[in-house]
A and B are shown apart, each in its own frame.
Chain A
Amino acid sequence: MSNTVVATEIEGKAWGGGNEPLKASYGKMMMWFFIVSDALTFSGFLAAYGFSRFKFIDYWPIADEVFTHVPFLHGQELPMIYVAFMTFILIMSSVTMVLAVDAGHHLNKAKVTLYMFLTIIGGLIFVGSQAWEWATFIKGDFGAVQTKGGNILQFVDTEGHRVALRDFVVAEHGERTQHERKNGIWFVSEGTLPTYTVEEVVNGLEAHDNILVRTQLLDENGEKTVLSRAESLKQLKNNGTHVVEGANLHENEYGSPLFADFFFFITGFHGFHVFSGVVINIIIFFNVILGTYEKRKNYEMVEKVGLYWHFVDLVWVFVFTFFYLV
């Protein structure tokens, strides 16, 4: 009996609280463990992307050719520039966040407020850029024709530069109209019809001698295979089923639909994290202004949301590499 009491007393000291073997508060530690689990979620996505890419290693779209747009600079091919800008914005907002944490350690309310504000602005710019990039990707650029086997035929000139459908295809008057609930069967509807039909693309290709078809297949130099003139016409006539403009979850003018699916899924999930990070930052920002942490004499809450915010940045660094660079 007496032994038990002694044991309890020792346990009371070791486990009863107040003893911090990790020298971190409960909240901070739990934030770290949440981050570990979230990191595993994201690596699950990125590894699944790698799986699909390895599966179709010879047919995968080249990211450089897909993400070439920069806002306000129409028609210029600037691969990677805008994504690099987004990366920089996010790293910058990470810096303002860590400066806010540092100011919090010195109990400097004015500085914490300023740096939190800047962090929120950075986050908003990033989410806005993300939305713009999605919109550009969904809208598409050049247009392509999908084959019976689900592959994509794109168009290039003799020098290998991409040619948009609108540059050589003429839309004729067609009888086919979009099937809507109000003009057809009420429980069936279809999406927007493509601007051109395959017959119009065939006519356009026959009328322009300098245009060739490019397939998804990558050659040994990592470039897409361009077919000969005769082969181009044959492929298009025999296998073309419909015109694809832009990308959605079913089809993708840039190549494999899986590429679009993973793009929407991974950057979407990351964008959702940034968005919730911004919301949490705003809450903490108002708490700072109201003086909640001033009264507590402790800005640890800023540190905890800071950890989350840096983690979002950390994930982006990996998404940037595996989606845009490699």
Chain B
Amino acid sequence: MAHAHKLEIFRGLVKFKSNTQKIWGVLIFLSIITAIEVVLGIYKPESLMAKFIGMKILNWIFIILTLVKAYYITWDFMHMRDEVKALRRMVVWTAIFLILYLIFILLQEGGYIESIYSSGYIKRDF
């Protein structure tokens, strides 16, 4: 168990000598991502305010960076990288499928209700 860790991240681009070293490496990476998010969140560059597939580019960047962070927390801190494929897929794909489904339904419905309000059929119904 103690020697079963896979020590490469970024698809083998970076290879660490020990598990401890990998942990610190991942911490540095996650900190950099958080710093980028905070700086973008404070300054909100005008160039990233344009819309891309219905959402600001800035928000796409935030969501993608969050998913990257989530990946490294799960894969390296929770050692998902070292689990067998079956367990990994059972956990990850189940969650991802159900969450995407839920998000789609609720956001679609929220957007629909907003369109009802803004097109003036109902002023305020509660």
Contact = CB atoms under 8 A, between A and B. Distances in A.
Interface string A65-106: 000000000000001110010011001101101110110011
Contacts, number: 141
A24 interface: yes
Q: Is the interface of A mostly helix, strand, loop or mixed?
A: helix
B77 A94 contact: yes
A317 B74 CA distance: 12
A22 B73 CA distance: 21
Interface residues of B, number: 51
B66 A321 contact: yes
A320 B42 CA distance: 14
Nearest to A35: B91
Nearest to B126: A150
Contacts of B14: none
Contact of B66 (A47, A102, A318): A318
Interface string A11-35: 0000000000111100001001101
Contacts of A324: 41
A109 interface: no
Interface in A123-176: 149-150
B84 interface: yes
A55 B113 contact: yes
A21 B86 contact: yes
Given A310-B73, A313-B73, A47 B106 contact: yes
A51 B109 contact: yes
Nearest to A221: B49
Contacts of B118: 58
A43 B102 contact: yes
B95 A39 contact: yes
A94 B73 contact: yes
A105 B1 contact: yes
Given A40-B99, A54-B110, A91 B23 contact: no
B106 A48 contact: yes
A64 interface: yes
A259 B49 CA distance: 23
A43 B73 contact: no
B71 to A, nearest CB: 10
A207 interface: no
A29 B91 CA distance: 10
Contacts of A291: none
B34 A84 contact: yes
A317 B110 contact: no
A84 B35 CA distance: 8
B103 A47 contact: yes
Contact of B62 (A43, A94, A325): A325
B35 to A, nearest CB: 8
A102 B20 CA distance: 7
Interface of B: 1-2, 19-20, 23-24, 27, 30-31, 34-35, 37-38, 41-42, 49, 59, 62-63, 65-66, 69-70, 73-74, 76-79, 83-84, 86-87, 90-91, 94-95, 98-99, 102-103, 106-107, 109-111, 113-114, 117-118, 124
12 contacts: A23-B83, A39-B95, A51-B107, A54-B107, A94-B73, A97-B77, A99-B20, A150-B124, A222-B49, A314-B73, A317-B66, A317-B69
Given A80-B41, A102-B19, 18 more contacts: A32-B87, A36-B94, A39-B99, A43-B98, A47-B102, A47-B107, A52-B110, A53-B110, A54-B107, A54-B111, A80-B38, A91-B30, A95-B23, A99-B23, A310-B74, A314-B74, A318-B70, A325-B62
